[in-house]
Amino acid sequence: MRWLEVAVSVHPEWVEAVSNLFWELGTGGVVVEDPAIISLYLQRPADQVAMDGLRLPAEPVVKAYLPVDEELAGRLAGLRESLAALLEETSWRMSTREMEEEDWANAWKAYYRPVQVGERLVVKPSWEEYRPRPGQVICELDPGMAFGCGTHATTRLCLTMLEEVIRGGEMVVDVGTGSGILAITAALLGAGRVVAVDRDPVAVATARQNVERNRVGDRVEVRQGDLLQGTGIPVADVIVANIVADVIIALIPAVVRMLNPKGLFIASGVIREREKGVRREMVLRGLEIREERAEGEWIALMAARGWGT
């Protein structure tokens, strides 16, 4: 099958909005190429990355994929119209190219290499060799078409918070698990039981494969469902959600009901301009904000349920 890659170059503050638009329009996957994040992830300046043969974009690029079929022209016209309406107050550029499915599925792997996150955790692609040092925790992933490979700031923020709070034996819920990276990491760090939830069947299948790859199937259960609609999930010590601000705000009432007294909620995927709204809803629902971490325009919040909520 052939796909049309649609690449939109935008200012960093518009990356989340364009990504959300692509998902809402039902595109076959979304990729964000942020030169600052790629350079940081590879732990080398941009000019050194270029010497390795990897060309970094000058500004963030959000890519979506449309199947090349009889409906392509209509989809592409609708996409252009939606982008023009969304980005009318900022400059942007759009380009397209056709590609084979195999190229689409594997092109991103050029940027994906083992990377240390936090003090002990190393996220490693399944096709790369890596010799761990004593004390390191290795999470091996093949994210496929699901979000979450440790390269995005929002994922890294969650991972470092999990490393801080998991002490052993906790009940953890991962909302919008994607590749399963957060659920798997929680188990590798010592959580007693983890329930990972996602509405997307592709993400559920990918997460289950990664759970088996990391040999944590005895503690990690992956379910297809929606936390807002209830999935029979038990009360949790830690709930982690790396999604977007609007979904996090909608989740907070359910999170409060599902947390143990003094349980923790880790929320990431929040762009800086939406932080106040998320904070406001947390406080309104009785959550006490314990910590904030930031990377670029992205914010992660850790909040605790009070005894009275």
Annotated binding residues for S-adenosyl-L-methionine: 155, 176, 198, 242
Distance, in Å, from the CA atom of 287 to the CA atom of 253, rounded to the nearest integer, reads: 10
Stated length of the chain? 309
In sequence order, what are the residues at sequence separation of 6 or more whose Cβ sits closer than 8 angstroms to the Cβ of residue 124? 114, 130, 138, 139, 140, 141
The annotated binding site is made up of 155, 176, 198, 242
- 106 by Cβ neighbours in 10 Å (0-12 / 13-18 / 19+) ranks as exposed
Q: 59-95 in b/e burial notation, b at 16+ Cβ within 10 A? A: bbbbbbbbeeeeeeeebeeebeeebeebbeeeebebe
Q: Give phi and psi for 188, each to the nearest 5.
A: -65, -30
Count CB neighbours of 272 within 10 A.
12
**Residue 124 · residue 116 · CB < 8 Å:** no
Phi-psi region of 203 (alpha: psi -120 to 50; beta: other; left: phi over 0): alpha
| Best CA proximity match to 126, nearest among 137, 136, 112 | 112
At which residue do the structure tokens 């005894």 appear? 307
Residue 53 CA to residue 11 CA, distance in Å, equals 25
